Structure 1
Amino acid sequence: MQFTEEQFKEGQVLLFDKPLNWTSFQLVNKVRWLIRKAYKIKKIKVGHAGTLDPLATGLLIICTGKFTKRIEEFMGQEKEYTGTIVLGATTPSYDLETEIDATFPTEHLHDDLIQNATAQFTGTIQQKPPVFSALKKEGKRLYEFARAGEEVEIPSREVQISEFEITRIKLPEVHFRVRCSKGTYIRSLAHDFGKALESGGHLSALRRTKIGDFDVANAISLENFETALKQAEA
């Protein structure tokens, strides 16, 4: 893996495996800083195609130079995720960012019931984004309302889920794989899935594995990228 300054300026599509607890913005900033440092340049355009939550890992497409113009193109492609839903409890953020706020019975759950419930969430569905999200309403991020304890009406929106597969059941954990359109919130899917099972649910792990034809199997770690740039500095 070798890069030149000219390649970055002309445009590169870099596939990164985003680490846990990093924001997408932090990873972009780090990549930009590493490129500037390696080639002693003041400015370089760097952006990402599709935000991943800090508690999610996996594929993040980062574009440099002239290829930043292609970000919208990549963002519009279908995405694939794997993850884990914990049934029997909900959280305000629909994931582990916030503490459990309610618990529900799970004694009625069985494999067939769980498997069959996925049918309600495939095809074109209506979904409400989580209140703990960066979407804006009236000029404010939704999470700003949530953290201030303010009620806010969130309209539902149409999303496409082409595949929703339960890959393993070990209650209260349910492991899944999903393929979906841009704008789908997997946290909302976890919450709504639990509600459909009358048990509540929240997301405990999430990994993005694909964006269009791009696969996380071909992604690089930040550490390997940094090593490659240090070779360029030498």
Structure 2
Amino acid sequence: MPKTTLASFPVSGLFGVVKPSGPTSMSIVNDLQQLVSRSRLFVDPEKLEKLKGKKSDKRRGKRGLDTVKIGQGGTLDPLADGVLVIGVGKGTKKLNEFLNCTKEYRTTCLLGCETDSYDSEGARVRLAPWHHVTQDKVQDALPKFTGEIKQVPPVFSALKMDGKPLYEYARKGIPLPRPIEARSVTVHSLEISDWLDSEHSFFWPEKQFSTEEKQALETALKGIQGDVSIKDEVEPTSDDKRPTAFALKMKVSGGTYVRSIVHDLAHSVDSAGHVVTLTRSRQGRFTLEPVQEGDRGCIPWAIFEKALTDLGEVDDEGWTEWEREVIQCMEVI
């Protein structure tokens, strides 16, 4: 392995992690805390000496001597995987720049079913026809969602209206006092990367809205849309003919709701759809596939996961595997 080129330790910095689908972003940060707080890469040797024999505490705010500032530059939901930018020490002060930077995503849309969360983690709200949707139909609809566009956040979101989260209106059947405010975002590029048709392993969620839940949602939306009817337009599909799915690749501004693009695109072709996979492939200069000058690659989560169980052997310079990976990928602040 090449020798390290860092002049002195400890350091502050930024590095990218490849988050897997499943864990929350916060759990990733908390797990990383256990490693960075006991590494000479980030902690003064005197503090490390004091920490010997002390048991690490995962609870935030109760770390005692092993406190090292650490944070992330833009949450990924449990379903999503891909680039998660991590800041350590003074690097945490640089994380805000990643909230509004340009990002790239890959996502898969499954047609015929709309969910409350706009993804497969939610419950089925309604079913709609999909057999009529062709690749050409979707391709023709893409320009409507490219450039500077207006997006309306999902009604089942934590955004507040008159001090109350939107999801409370939807769940409790409280009429919305006014339309949900649309947000301006920029979609720099949007393309179909793969037309899967029915050749895939995705299914609609088993969990579905009850009659009462549909009525509550109807009541909430009637305040701004007049007569609203939420009902299935088709029967559930059998396993021998799965609903159409397709993959999209996009480059967007900060604040863009990828799930809303998929939801609204499905509506535009007279169907319904939700996200079944979501990968953030780039966040600013951190990317899964470095291709241009200034790009920084990301470290697979498996490297850190392994270290949390067993740090393993150290190299000639005294670095463990995870530390060496961070040194090679880190942007020192």
TM-score band, normalised by shorter chain: 0.7 to 0.9
Which residue of the partner structure matches residue 162 of structure 1?
188
TM-score (norm 1): 0.87
TM-score (norm 2): 0.63
Higher helix share: 1
CA shift digits 1:86-123 (9 cap, x unpaired)? 11111111001112221111222222111111110000
Contact (CA 8 Å) 1:28, 1:46: kept in 2 or not? yes
Contact (CA 8 Å) 1:122, 1:161: kept in 2 or not? yes
Q: 1:205 aligns with which of 277, 292, 296?
A: 277
* CA distance, structure 1, for counterparts of residue 274 and residue 305 of structure 2: 35
Matched, 1:108 2:180: no
Which residue of the partner structure matches residue 6 of structure 1?
10
Cα gap change, 1:131/1:26 in structure 2, threshold over 3 Å: closer, same or farther?
farther
Q: Which moved more, 1:218-227 or 1:19-28?
A: 218-227
Shift of 1:42: 2.2
- SS of residue matched to 2:256: coil
Q: Which runs of structure 2 are paired with 1:1-234 in the superposition (5 Å)?
A: 6-7=10-11, 11-38=12-39, 39=48, 40=51, 41-139=65-163, 141-143=165-167, 152=176, 154-171=180-197, 172-217=244-289, 218-225=297-304, 230=311, 231=314
Count the aligned residue pairs.
Answer: 231
* CA distance, structure 2, for counterparts of residue 42 and residue 143 of structure 1: 39
Q: Which has the larger radius of gyration?
A: 2
Fraction of identical pairs, as percent:
38
Cα gap change, 1:27/1:147 in structure 2, threshold over 3 Å: closer, same or farther?
farther
Shift of 1:175: 0.6
How well do the aligned residues superpose, as a CA RMSD in angstroms?
2.6
CA shift digits 1:126-151 (9 cap, x unpaired)? 10122344444455554565565655
Higher strand share: 1
What is the letter of the counterpart of residue 28 of structure 1? V
What is the letter of the counterpart of residue 182 of structure 2? S
- SS of residue matched to 1:220: strand
* CA distance, structure 2, for counterparts of residue 134 and residue 125 of structure 1: 22
